[in-house]
A and B are shown apart, each in its own frame.
Chain A
Amino acid sequence: MPMKGRFPVRRTLQYLSQGDVIFKSAVKVMTVNYNTAGELSEGARKFVFFNVPQIQYKNPWVQIMLFRNMTPSPFLRFYLDSGEQVLVDVEDKTNKEITEHIKKILGKSKETLEKEERERKKLSHPATFGPKKYHLRECMCEIEGQVPCPAFVPLPKEMRGKYKAALKNEASA
């Protein structure tokens, strides 16, 4: 049973997380003005259809507004925290070119992203174990080189409390 809709791949988490435009923290609002008909607006229409969900998924705190058929020329407008506005003309551009352009002008660079990733990794220690939310592994039995979980592989006789207690009784008796 296939998914409903024209390009249902747009509605998968894998597709959404593939978006690589992450805006700088100064960008607050993104406005897209485009037309529903006309060759010049084709790139903008594809951008709205394919790329805007990816951008919104990666930037949940940026307000994105779409305006249709308000002006003859399609454009993007960004409102930054400093009050500055960035106008991007997208007439006659493909949606790939538009994403590349905004990534270059307002996206976080790869170095910044890597630095943030490293900062986040520093907070959590990978060798500890505990609840899945905070650690990689839940129990010591999951770590390679440790005793496997007795639910799957029975413990050797010498480690079982039953055997140890029997030995102790024999020794004392």
Chain B
Amino acid sequence: MSVPRGAVHAKWIVGKVIGTKMQKTAKVRVTRLVLDPYLLKFFNKRKTYFAHDPLQQCVVGDIVLLKALPERRSKHVKHELAEIVFKVGNVIDPITGKPCAGTRFLENLSDSENLTEADTNYLSEKLQELKVCSSDK
């Protein structure tokens, strides 16, 4: 039986980076759904893994795909960074390929170009009120 990868049980895992204070190593928290035997409900169970990140490109909060190393790199490091799935603050929607934040696309944002009718009406009303106040004084 060949062991190309796998002194470790988990070959590929997805987790969130929680620490980058170590040199070329990222601390990643991985959650799995575990069934509670009495409630029969799934809860997230966390486990931290250390991953080798040679270019130190991970920031705390990134969602990251880890690949198991063929043999252990050090006492705790058994995985390496395969790919950053979602970079924090710079999430790219994989279906459209555009940058997004939450439920909105970030592409078309600029100050005055994309104001809707309602926005311009509201702003002009506010300006009118200001003019009235200043004339009273």
Partners in one complex: yes
Footprint of B on A, CB under 8 Å? 11-13, 16, 28-29, 31, 35, 37-38, 52-53, 56-57, 63-65, 67, 69-73, 75, 77, 79, 81, 83, 87, 89, 91
Given contact pairs A72-B93, A72-B100, A56 touches B63 in the complex (Cβ within 8 A): no
Secondary structure type dominating chain B contacts: strand
Residue pair B35, A57 in contact (C-beta under 8 Å): yes
Residues of B within 8 A of A29 (CB): 12-14, 65
Residues of B within 8 A of A57 (CB): 35
Residue of A with least CB distance to B99: A71
Given contact pairs A57-B35, A79-B12, A81-B11, A72 touches B40 in the complex (Cβ within 8 A): no
Secondary structure type dominating chain A contacts: mixed
Residue pair A63, B13 in contact (C-beta under 8 Å): yes
> How far is A73 from B32 in the complex, measured between Cα atoms in Å?
24
Give the residues from 85 to 130 in chain B that come closer than 8 angstroms, CB to CB, to chain A: 85-86, 91, 93-96, 100, 102-105
Residues of A within 8 A of B131 (CB): none
Distance (Å) between the CB of B42 and the closest chain A CB?
6
Distance (Å) between the CB of B4 and the closest chain A CB?
11
> How far is A16 from B42 in the complex, measured between Cα atoms in Å?
11
Footprint of A on B, CB under 8 Å? 10-14, 30-33, 35, 39-42, 63, 65, 67, 82, 85-86, 91, 93-96, 100, 102-105
* A/B interface sample: 24 pairs, CB < 8 A: A11-B39, A28-B11, A28-B13, A29-B12, A29-B65, A35-B103, A52-B33, A52-B42, A63-B10, A63-B14, A63-B30, A64-B32, A67-B63, A69-B102, A71-B93, A71-B94, A72-B102, A75-B94, A75-B95, A79-B12, A79-B14, A81-B11, A81-B12, A83-B12
Residue pair A69, B103 in contact (C-beta under 8 Å): yes
Residue pair A11, B40 in contact (C-beta under 8 Å): yes
> How far is A67 from B10 in the complex, measured between Cα atoms in Å?
21
Question: Which of B32, B35, B82, B95 lies in contact with A63, CB distance below 8 A?
Answer: B32
Residues of A within 8 A of B82 (CB): 83
Residues of B within 8 A of A83 (CB): 12, 67, 82
Distance (Å) between the CB of B45 and the closest chain A CB?
11
Residue pair A71, B91 in contact (C-beta under 8 Å): yes
> How far is A63 from B91 in the complex, measured between Cα atoms in Å?
22
Residues of B within 8 A of A67 (CB): 63, 86
> How far is A31 from B12 in the complex, measured between Cα atoms in Å?
12
